């Protein structure tokens, strides 16, 4: 069988949400740019609260990272806790961590309230140590997290690791039972339909080409030009992630787009699936250039990694199939003869400081920088900012923290230096 260069998750969606048809309204309360998890989550809450909201997605709904990811609904943030506390102070970081836990509860609540059939499961995640030194750091990291956030992580020594993962190559692991798994495409699809049911107007295949403040200077009033026509919006919410375009150049300069690629194998026999992942965890390793992997609900091995640091491209998708298969066999020699059925890629949105950011830019609301935590974090941030637009107090710990621009060469639309950054992290993985 030839490998399908296609996102496996999309093949599991029976009835994709249909975008709105017909003319644009002249005026809306809020225009949302981007129909991924962040934009759809915001649109759902805004519509629920009686706000006239119109969302624009340049491609199909969920076309960006939101349908292409590993479906890992993860706790925590990318950076180590001491680094975070040093940067932002204990109180802010405690609120950030609480938000990361709350975001998983929110995904679960939305799935239940809206009746979304997307295989949400509180299966927990497992981080595996690629080096003894990485494992040696786990105990201190877990103690710190318990101390600071009263959140429990479990350390798994190498001699007990077989109960968690059928791989001989790791030095131990750390489990967080709060994390979850989801079928991301079905989740996005259900979220879009829920937003529509509540009254949000979702235009797919409609690109926003420019946003400008109204010429009369009226504050809180924007002219939004799209490929389907123009409208006026009291507020604009930029939820365009790694795909942020020249339509909003100031935000674009802050986003670092990094490619990530995934393969999905044929369906594994039940015994083999139970051997490779006995507890069905969401798994990732301790490197910078990391692998992340899991079983799909129908027992395929879904294995992802940053095969390159470029934004996603067709040629990289093709090359990734073999690169990732080799990585998968290193982890799981027993999958040597397992066939790869799917390969696809997507682009993650990083900020220079590896943090999520939200707030206002040139008068528009925005939320970006979710990196590999966006399934939960983008859902939460979209809903949170929607609340702020409706007048809730802004107690979001991620708004108002400094948001550095990306250096030339790393930023969206100008990424020539990304391979150098990739090489740097590879060397770092080798050295540390
Ligand atoms: C391969 C891969 C694996 C990942 N794995 C995980 C994981 O397991 N767990 C996890 O938590 N996170 C993961 N992530 C990250 C996660 O998917 C993202 O952080 C999250 O989906 C971001 O959601 P978003 O709504 O902000 O952006 P997106 O889903 O990228 O949506 C942005 C949308 O905006 C649209 N857009 C941009 N500009 C315009 C415009 N001018 N007009 C109209 N529309 C526009 C784009 O077409 C796009 O669809 C992964 C990402 C990738 C790529």
The full DSSP string for 417-431 is: THHHHHHHHHHHHHH
Lowest mean pLDDT among 42-56, 167-181, 398-412: 398-412
Query: Which ligand 1 atom lies nearest to the CA of residue 367?
Result: 26
pLDDT value at 218 more than 60: no
- 260 vs 423, higher pLDDT: 260
DSSP run (H or E) holding 223 = strand 222-226
Asked if residue 33 has its Cβ within 6 Å of ligand 1, the reply is yes
Backbone angles phi, psi at 231, to 5 degrees: -140, 170
pLDDT value at 421 more than 70: no
- Summarize pLDDT for 119-148 with one digit per residue, the tens: 999 999 999 999 999 999 999 999 999 999
pLDDT value at 87 more than 80: yes
pLDDT value at 9 more than 70: yes
Lowest mean pLDDT among 212-216, 217-221, 333-337, 389-393: 217-221
Query: Which ligand 1 atom lies nearest to the CA of residue 247?
Result: 41
pLDDT value at 220 more than 90: no
Q: What is the pLDDT of residue 79?
A: 87
Which residue from 282, 276, 279 is spatially nearest to 328, judged by alpha carbons? 276
Q: What is the mean pLDDT of residues 22-34?
A: 96
- 384 CA to middle of ligand 1, Å? 17
Asked if residue 68 has its Cβ within 6 Å of ligand 1, the reply is yes
Residues with Cβ within 8 Å of residue 321, at least 6 apart in sequence: 3, 263, 340, 343
pLDDT value at 307 more than 90: no
- 171 CA to middle of ligand 1, Å? 32
Reported pTM: 0.95
304, 68 contact by CB (below 8 A): no
Asked if residue 372 has its Cβ within 6 Å of ligand 1, the reply is yes
Q: What is the mean pLDDT of residues 239-243?
A: 96
Q: What is the pLDDT of residue 426?
A: 66
Q: What tokens were used for 208?
A: 């926003």
Asked if residue 61 has its Cβ within 6 Å of ligand 1, the reply is no
pLDDT category, 237, cuts 50, 70, 90?
very high
Q: What tokens were used for 17?
A: 């949400």
Q: What is the pLDDT of residue 270?
A: 97
383, 195 contact by CB (below 8 A): no
* Torsion sign across C-alpha atoms 20, 23, 28, 32: positive
Query: Which ligand 1 atom lies nearest to the CA of residue 209?
Result: 41
Q: What is the pLDDT of residue 314?
A: 76
Residues with Cβ within 8 Å of residue 145, at least 6 apart in sequence: 76, 81, 97, 151, 153
Query: Which ligand 1 atom lies nearest to the CA of residue 240?
Result: 34
CA separation for the pair 247, 369 (Å, rounded) = 18
In the β-sheet with 291-295, what is the strand arrangement from edge to edge? 154-157, 172-176, 125-128, 282-285, 291-295, 300-305, 256-267, 340-350
Backbone angles phi, psi at 39, to 5 degrees: -65, -40
Please state, rounded to an integer, the average pLDDT across all residues of the chain: 93
Lowest mean pLDDT among 222-231, 301-310, 374-383, 407-416: 407-416
Tallying the residues shown for the chain, one arrives at: 432
pLDDT value at 409 more than 90: no
pLDDT value at 317 more than 90: no
CA separation for the pair 138, 81 (Å, rounded) = 12
CA separation for the pair 176, 373 (Å, rounded) = 14
- 356 CA to middle of ligand 1, Å? 13
DSSP run (H or E) holding 116 = none
- 242 CA to middle of ligand 1, Å? 6
The full DSSP string for 370-384 is: -GGGHHHHHHHHHHH
CA separation for the pair 71, 292 (Å, rounded) = 11
Q: What is the pLDDT of residue 315?
A: 80
Place of tokens 């890992």: 72
The full DSSP string for 18-53 is: PPP-SPPPSEEEEEEE--SHHHHHHHHHHHHTT--E
Asked if residue 308 has its Cβ within 6 Å of ligand 1, the reply is no
Asked if residue 239 has its Cβ within 6 Å of ligand 1, the reply is yes
57, 189 contact by CB (below 8 A): no
Q: How far is CA 134 from each of CA 22, 45, 138, 158, 287, rounded to the nearest angstrom?
A: 56, 41, 7, 12, 9
Q: What tokens were used for 393?
A: 């107090």
pLDDT category, 328, cuts 50, 70, 90?
very high
- 241 CA to middle of ligand 1, Å? 5
Place of tokens 């301790």: 286
Which among 21-25, 219-223, 266-270 has the top mean pLDDT?
266-270
Which residue from 295, 293, 312, 314 is spatially nearest to 304, judged by alpha carbons? 293
- 348 CA to middle of ligand 1, Å? 7
Query: Which ligand 1 atom lies nearest to the CA of residue 373?
Result: 11
Q: What is the pLDDT of residue 216?
A: 59
Q: What is the mean pLDDT of residues 315-323?
A: 86
- 149 vs 215, higher pLDDT: 149
* Torsion sign across C-alpha atoms 104, 109, 110, 114: positive
Residues with Cβ within 8 Å of residue 118, at least 6 apart in sequence: 111, 182, 183, 184, 186, 187, 190
- 73 CA to middle of ligand 1, Å? 14
Asked if residue 257 has its Cβ within 6 Å of ligand 1, the reply is no
């Amino acid at each position: 069988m030839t490998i399908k260069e296609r996102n496996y998750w999309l093949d599991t969606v029976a009835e994709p949400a249909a975008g709105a048809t017909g003319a644009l309204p002249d005026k809306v309360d809020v225009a949302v740019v981007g129909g991924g998890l962040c934009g759809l989550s915001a649109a759902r809450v805004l519509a629920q609260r009686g706000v006239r909201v119109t969302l624009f997605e340049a491609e199909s709904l969920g076309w960006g990272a939101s349908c292409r990811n590993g479906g890992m609904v993860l706790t925590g943030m990318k950076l180590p806790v001491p680094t975070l506390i040093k940067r932002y102070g204990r109180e802010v970081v405690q609120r950030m961590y609480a938000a990361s836990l709350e975001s998983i509860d929110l995904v679960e609540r939305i799935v239940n309230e809206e009746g979304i059939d997307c295989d949400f499961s509180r299966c927990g995640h497992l981080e595996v140590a690629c080096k003894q030194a990485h494992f040696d750091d786990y105990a201190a990291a877990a103690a710190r997290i318990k101390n600071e956030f009263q959140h429990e992580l479990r350390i798994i020594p190498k001699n007990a690791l077989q109960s968690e993962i059928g791989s001989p190559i790791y030095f131990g692991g750390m489990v967080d039972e709060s994390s979850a798994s989801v079928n991301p495409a079905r989740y996005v699809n259900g979220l879009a339909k829920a937003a529509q049911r509540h009254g949000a107007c979702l235009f797919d295949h409609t690109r926003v080409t420019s946003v400008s403040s109204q010429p009369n200077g009226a504050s809180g009033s924007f002219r939004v030009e799209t490929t389907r026509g123009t409208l006026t919006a009291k507020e604009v919410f930029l939820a365009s992630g790694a795909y942020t375009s020249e339509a909003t150049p100031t935000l674009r300069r802050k986003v670092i787009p990094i490619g990530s690629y995934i393969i999905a194998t044929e369906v594994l026999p039940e015994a083999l699936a139970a051997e490779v992942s006995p507890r069905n965890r969401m798994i990732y390793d301790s490197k910078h250039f990391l692998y992340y992997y899991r079983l799909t609900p129908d027992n395929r091995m879904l294995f992802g990694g940053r095969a390159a640091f470029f934004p996603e491209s067709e040629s990289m998708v093709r090359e990734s199939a073999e690169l990732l298969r080799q990585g998968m066999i290193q982890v799981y020699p027993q999958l040597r003869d397992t066939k790869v059925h799917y390969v696809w890629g997507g682009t993650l949105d990083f900020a220079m400081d590896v943090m999520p950011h939200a707030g206002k830019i040139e008068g528009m609301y925005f939320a970006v920088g979710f990196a590999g935590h966006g399934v939960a974090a983008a859902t939460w941030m979209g809903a949170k900012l929607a609340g702020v637009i409706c007048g809730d107090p802004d107690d979001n710990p991620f708004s108002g923290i400094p948001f550095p621009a990306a250096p030339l060469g790393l930023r969206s639309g100008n990424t020539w230096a990304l391979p150098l950054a990739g090489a740097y992290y590879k060397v770092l993985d080798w050295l540390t």
